[in-house]
A and B are shown apart, each in its own frame.
Chain A
């Protein structure tokens, strides 16, 4: 309950923020945060709740971005482009899921990584030229619409995960994560549930990719398939708290703001810090920031 209230308040706060100021650098920061939330939360669905650690997240982000970009730049209405991007990403995800789920654990992870790399290289070869928003659209480029689009996306991702977690299907998915054999034995169709998690995950990250295509003015087409997107998603989720609803949100806030603070003087250092944090989390603090926060709260309430 508290989480729900907190989440709604946060969303409202972010929504109301442009009423205070519309400085483009701050709006930009907001967009980064929302994209990070979407990226991480969509990964969290598959990697955290379903327990299928995937390293190919970028493939679906990229597909969403690719399709959306192509359609939108060529005149299609934005909503159509976004939905098309998400659909293509999901379709690809399902096609992949069928054979991929035969692989277990590490093999699934590196298999999905290999897949994403194949896409990246192929796209890089087929579309080597930089993709830029055409002049007409550039003139009418407004940050605010991107701000609200990505905010909506972030809220959607969190809402989907929150709704799923409490639902029967969601419980089934988590049961599969805990012990696939046991879940299967008690009637939970493991494959079906994993596939559903995959479909939702890819749909959401496909939307995120589409949003990125709408937002980012110019980039090389293979950039959206870069493993960096996967790494960001995994990092943020784990440091924030894998398998929790608010973990990816906390992690995203932390990550983007840290990146901003460090960007001025120590470029790229945020990755190093996050890398170290990540290792510490995996070894000693599996619950991430979420766990650290609740432990700290308990310490304080005990003393108080």
Chain B
């Protein structure tokens, strides 16, 4: 049935929504900084994958091993040059300034991308691009399925890092109460730096997966920032798996609406959901903090 097939595709894209949201959730949750350039960072990661494939025929999934660290490094630079000044203010000003700075970054990256890669849509077509797993009447594109699995694996790894590792716990502690964390000997600045860079790395990896599963163009930046925001608002802060589930929920909601009211309003559904949750339950469906 069309609905089921659409739902399957919705779940597959939802995993990527979740991964994109997780990065935003991490930076917002820990630093209380809303980096609206998150989608642009995702876009840059996607172009990284595109370049590595087009120039050196590196398999897109493999390229993530390069894209991840590259975006991590970019995150370090961005924090060191810009966001470290933003976190010095207290929360309300912090959010406002980060919003504005993210906004400026959006313009810079967007324009840069157009210069470097033109405004055209690009795709990465591997040998296995068309492979599909058939389940009765339904077809599951292999590439997208792999992306979903990979996204989940990465989030699991991150979750374990946050739960068990010394620095992972330091991040969680700083997110909850940075002064108390400082009293434990946790260097708050370095923790922020780490969390921010992890967030951008996640964005970059998500971008790479978007490129291989769909396509890439400079204009996906704003689109994915909105998706990530919608999922963060939907799922609330504080849980990576919540973000993942929220992403899947969004994907499913979009798929359902596409079947019911036509694909043209796919985006609108997510945005309407977003506004409703913002107004009715700002802390999200699963979230702790608002």
Contacts and interface: CB of A to CB of B under 8 A. Distances in A.
B124 interface: no
B105 A53 contact: no
Contact of B82 (A268, A274, A279): A279
Q: Is the interface of B mostly helix, strand, loop or mixed?
A: helix
Nearest to B223: A117
B96 A106 contact: yes
Interface string B81-97: 01001100000100111
B166 interface: no
A107 B229 CA distance: 10
Given A105-B92, A106-B34, A117-B226, A278 B275 contact: no
A292 interface: no
Interface in B219-276: 222, 226, 229-230, 264-265, 267-268, 271-272, 274-275
Contacts of A118: 268, 271-272, 275
Contacts of B85: 283
B141 interface: no
Interface stretch (A131-139, A192-200, A227-235, A245-253): A227-235
B264 A125 contact: yes
Given A111-B278, A121-B268, A125-B265, A282 B111 contact: no
Contacts of B110: 271
Task: Give the size range of B's interface with the partner.
Answer: 35 or more
A75 interface: no
A269 interface: yes
B149 interface: no
Nearest to B232: A110
Nearest to B282: A107
A53 B96 contact: yes
Residue from A106, A231, A268, A283 whose CB has the most chain B CB atoms within 10 Å: A106
Given A105-B96, A227-B222, A283-B82, A121 B267 contact: yes
A94 to B, nearest CB: 16
Contacts of B112: 272
Contacts of B278: 103, 107, 110-111, 114
Contacts of B275: 111, 114-115, 118
B99 interface: yes
Contacts of A214: none
B108 interface: yes
Interface of B: 34, 36, 82, 85-86, 92, 95-97, 99-101, 103-108, 110-112, 114-115, 222, 226, 229-230, 264-265, 267-268, 271-272, 274-275, 278-279, 282
Interface of A: 53, 99, 102-107, 109-111, 113-115, 117-118, 121-122, 125, 227, 231, 234-235, 238, 268-269, 271-272, 274-276, 278-279, 282-283
28 contacts: A53-B96, A102-B279, A105-B96, A106-B95, A110-B36, A111-B278, A111-B279, A113-B226, A114-B271, A114-B274, A118-B271, A125-B264, A231-B103, A231-B107, A234-B100, A235-B107, A268-B111, A268-B114, A269-B115, A272-B111, A275-B104, A275-B105, A276-B104, A278-B100, A278-B104, A279-B101, A283-B86, A283-B97
